[in-house]
Amino acid sequence: MNRELIERLAEHLNEVTGFIYPNEVEIHWSILVVVYPYITGLVAGAFILASLVQVFNVKEVQPTYRLALLTALAFLIIAPLPLLLHLGHPFRSYEIFLTPQLKSAMAMFGFVYLWYLMAVLLLELWFEYRKDLVVWSNEAIFPMNWIYRTLSFFSTDISERAVAFDHKAIKIITLIGIPSAFLLHGYVGFIFGSVKANPWWSSVLMPLVFLMSAIVSGIALVVFLYMVITPLRGEGVDMRCLDRITSFLFYAVIVDFTLEGLDFIHRLYQSEESIKILSRLVTDKLFISLWVIQIFLGMLVPLGIMIAVKSLRFNAELRRLFYFASVILIQLGIFATRWNVVIGGQLFSKSFRGLTTYKMEVVGIEGLIAALGLLIAPFIILAVFLKIFPASETAEAKEAVSS
Amino acid sequence: MIDRRKFLKKAIWFIPAAGLFRHFVKEGHAKPATEGYDPANHLYGMGIDIDKCIGCGRCVEACKTENNVPKEPFFTRTWVERYTIKKDNSVEVENIESRNGKVGDRSTESDVLRSFFVPKLCNQCEHPPCVQVCPVGATFSTEDGVVLVDSKRCIGCRYCIQACPYGARYLHPETRTADKCTFCYHRIVKGLLPACVEVCPTQARIFGDLKSMASRLVRFKRTKRIHVLKAHLNTEPKVYYGNLDGEVR
């Protein structure tokens, strides 16, 4: 028997206020399940930003296009890991693919994930990089030339016709990709939103709230990376690009804020059986993470900053500073959003008569260090990607922007 | 000679086909629970007579012994709650099991309006949310109306624990799979009673077959005012409470 678990649960038992069902002492979905929707949100958001360039022809955003796609891929590779580590039997996880129970929302995970990875992201990246891969395979020295050659699947055609086809393919993939990105993260929201036993989760707005917050966090992440990486490469940050992206970010935060506000008002107005315990939850257990971090620091402050930047004439340096501060605060806020949904939804009893506490492990598989590792890993993967597939603007793209 | 295109095409078919094959192999190995037992002839349920429960906690103890449930209070297939409603309408609820079954009599305290015990267990819902959410079909409804977990199939994702409105499930710390009340399925298919029903000294738990008009359960349902827990969630429980108080959730 797991002594450490028993001791931890005995400690939890002392923290319970009011009455909870005996089986509710253990918090079942831990920090890893917070990390999972956070990471998939970043994937979906980064992809939506990339599609702005392709589908909506927002040329100013072009400098972040490849970065956004590679970011999405780096995070998508890590996305299933927190779920896998969290399972009681990780080695049985393949059962989800082999014998899925089709009525289960969770059973769809594998298919949604694979579809997004194989049919959208990898395909779009391949067409985007194909021409470069061919060029690099001729220029680079061993063994990189062979790596490029293999990754281009030994294609050699960089005629105008072939490149035009690449562009057309990318357009079509993005068109499929946008609903797919919506599916990827809206679906994560559905996993929570469809649990009718849990009034904190059960809401039709949940997939939409997840989606909008995903877009917010994904855009903020790409802005952050763009602002960090560009100076490291010895290049200047393109302020037109930055102004445009943060403008999109601003509107995305407003829509996200509105949706969450609507959800909140709706709950308050309907005032169902659960309202008393939920108000105790948000004023007691979630006070810091919800009101202070998610809403004040993660939404109101960045919104205030962006309104100030929009209405006052700051110089480029000051704008960069403000943008940088905003995207970091937004990241913090969205992580708190995930925390408040996943952990918050387990801190009250389904008897609506009591609250419990979540004490995070530090070293265990479901602990803080594992979670941090999973959050850092995508950045390392991204660094490798950027090394192998430089994301700096191609000459072609520069021409397109200037024209 | 198989070319690349053909190979890929075949591979695309192979993966789902292998899954299906595996599924049928598993199904093929399934054996009937007991010789001569036909689940189609039964539909099990349980009645709880609130007025008879004395909160002794023997049902909890018997269940833990019978089903290898950990002794700690935070893993349980069944438990007994005590409700104490005070004269100012405030409600106190406590779990008898977590106090090792030793609780004082509260009904004589001067500020108490009424007090009673409520045994809880899996409601063996007709529309079980736990079965709906299980990604691998490890949790399933049997033909005779019991919701079971296949611990060899369960991947331990705990979605079912989240989806159960009654807190009836827990993750078994040894098997790392979801666990819950089975109505002592291994006993009932042999015609025995569930362990909790067998040991109850006041017959507060009434087990029976809803398909048999002669069963004690059907008589209980006929003679008592019956409530089920959280009826608004439309899970259609098969655990029926006689004289249930409105405060119970």
Per CB-CB distance under 8 Å, the chain A contacts of B176 are: 88-89
φ, ψ at A205 (rounded to 5°): -75, -15
Residues B156, A23: C-beta atoms closer than 8 Å = no
Q: Identify the closest residue of chain B to A104 by CA–CA distance.
A: B133
pLDDT for residue A288 is more than 70 = yes
Query: Which two three-digit tokens encode residue A182?
Result: 């919506």
Contact B143, B127 (CB under 8 A): no
Say which of B70, B135, B158 has its CB closest to residue A104: B135
Express each pLDDT in A178-213 by its tens digit.
Answer: 999 888 888 899 999 999 999 999 999 999 999 999
Query: Mean pLDDT throughout A247-270?
Result: 95
Dmax over Cα atoms in chain B, in whole Å? 91
Of the CA atoms within 13 Å of residue A259, those in its CB half-sphere come to 20
The letter for the amino acid at B10 is K
Say which of A18, A29, A349 has its CB closest to residue B158: A29
Say which of A92, A96, A352 has its CB closest to residue B249: A352
Contact A98, B164 (CB under 8 A): no
Give pLDDT, residue B29: 62
Residues A21, B170: C-beta atoms closer than 8 Å = no
pLDDT band for A395, please (50, 70, 90 cuts): very low
Residues B174, A1: C-beta atoms closer than 8 Å = yes
Residues B19, A98: C-beta atoms closer than 8 Å = yes
**Chain A to chain B Cβ contacts (< 8 Å):** 152
Contact B82, B96 (CB under 8 A): yes
Residues B95, A196: C-beta atoms closer than 8 Å = no
Residues with Cβ within 8 Å of residue A280, at least 6 apart in sequence: A348, A355
Residues B167, A349: C-beta atoms closer than 8 Å = yes
Residues A197, B76: C-beta atoms closer than 8 Å = no
The DSSP secondary-structure symbol of B123 reads: -
Say which of B120, B135, B163 has its CB closest to residue A197: B163
Residues B72, A107: C-beta atoms closer than 8 Å = no
How close A308 comes to chain B (CA, Å)? Answer: 43
Most A CBs within 10 Å, among B162, B172, B249, to test the A interface: B162
Query: Mean pLDDT throughout A355-359?
Result: 93
Element (H, E) at B242: strand B239-242
Per CB-CB distance under 8 Å, the chain B contacts of A84 are: none
Using CA atoms, how far residue B52 sits from A187, B238, B246, in Å, is 47, 19, 17
Express each pLDDT in A52-103 by its tens digit.
Answer: 888 888 999 999 999 999 999 999 999 999 999 999 999 999 999 888 999 9
Give pLDDT, residue A109: 84
The rounded percent of chain A whose pLDDT value lies above 70 is 97
How close B154 comes to chain A (CA, Å)? Answer: 8
The domain locations on chain B are: 41-249
Q: What is the crossing angle of helices A31-54 and A160-193, to 10°?
A: 140
Q: Identify the closest residue of chain A to B75 by CA–CA distance.
A: A23
Say which of B15, B92, B136 has its CB closest to residue A96: B136
C-alpha A32/C-alpha A186 separation (Å) is 19
pLDDT for residue A394 is more than 70 = no
Highest mean pLDDT among A236-240, A365-369, B27-31, B124-128: B124-128
Residues of chain B with pLDDT under 70: 1, 4, 23, 26-34, 97-103
C-alpha A35/C-alpha A29 separation (Å) is 11
| Closest by CA position to B46, among listed B103, B100, B123, B107 | B123
Say which of A19, A22, A89 has its CB closest to residue B73: A22
Query: Mean pLDDT throughout A343-367?
Result: 94
Element (H, E) at A242: helix A239-270
Residues B74, A350: C-beta atoms closer than 8 Å = no
Residues B171, A26: C-beta atoms closer than 8 Å = yes
Give pLDDT, residue A379: 98
Contact B66, B50 (CB under 8 A): no
C-alpha A164/C-alpha A168 separation (Å) is 6
Express each pLDDT in A139-182 by its tens digit.
Answer: 999 999 999 999 999 999 999 999 999 999 999 999 999 999 88
Contact A338, B155 (CB under 8 A): no
Q: Identify the closest residue of chain A to B24 by CA–CA distance.
A: A99
pLDDT band for A396, please (50, 70, 90 cuts): low
Measure the CA dihedral B168/B174/B177/B182, to 10°. Answer: -50
Contact A281, A353 (CB under 8 A): no
A30: exposed, middle or buried (Cβ count in 10 Å: 0-12, 13-18, 19+): buried
Residues B129, A197: C-beta atoms closer than 8 Å = yes
pLDDT for residue A17 is more than 50 = yes
| Closest by CA position to A366, among listed A1, A72, A38, A84 | A84
pLDDT for residue A382 is more than 50 = yes
How close A118 comes to chain B (CA, Å)? Answer: 14
The letter for the amino acid at A321 is L
Using CA atoms, how far residue A7 sits from A11, A12, A14, A26, A334, in Å, is 6, 9, 11, 11, 32
What is the CATH code of the structural domain delimited by B41-249? 3.30.70.20
Per CB-CB distance under 8 Å, the chain B contacts of A90 are: 155
Q: Identify the closest residue of chain A to B122 by CA–CA distance.
A: A23
Residues A350, B167: C-beta atoms closer than 8 Å = yes
Of the CA atoms within 13 Å of residue B184, those in its CB half-sphere come to 24
pLDDT for residue A317 is more than 50 = yes
The rounded percent of chain A whose pLDDT value lies above 90 is 80
How close B2 comes to chain A (CA, Å)? Answer: 20
Query: Which two three-digit tokens encode residue A297?
Result: 């620091």
How close A18 comes to chain B (CA, Å)? Answer: 8
Rg value, chain B, Cα: 22
Dmax over Cα atoms in chain A, in whole Å? 72
Say which of B26, B70, B74 has its CB closest to residue A13: B74
Pairing of strands A17-18, A354-355: antiparallel
Per CB-CB distance under 8 Å, the chain A contacts of B85 are: none
Give pLDDT, residue A403: 47
Give pLDDT, residue B19: 72
Q: Identify the closest residue of chain B to A352 by CA–CA distance.
A: B249
Pairing of strands B239-242, B44-49: parallel
Give pLDDT, residue B33: 55
Q: Which residue has the higher pLDDT, B28 or A378?
A: A378
**Which of these ranges, A46-50, A215-219, A257-261, B35-39, has the smallest mean pLDDT?**
B35-39
Contact A213, A242 (CB under 8 A): no
pLDDT for residue A393 is more than 70 = no
pTM: 0.91
pLDDT for residue A231 is more than 60 = yes
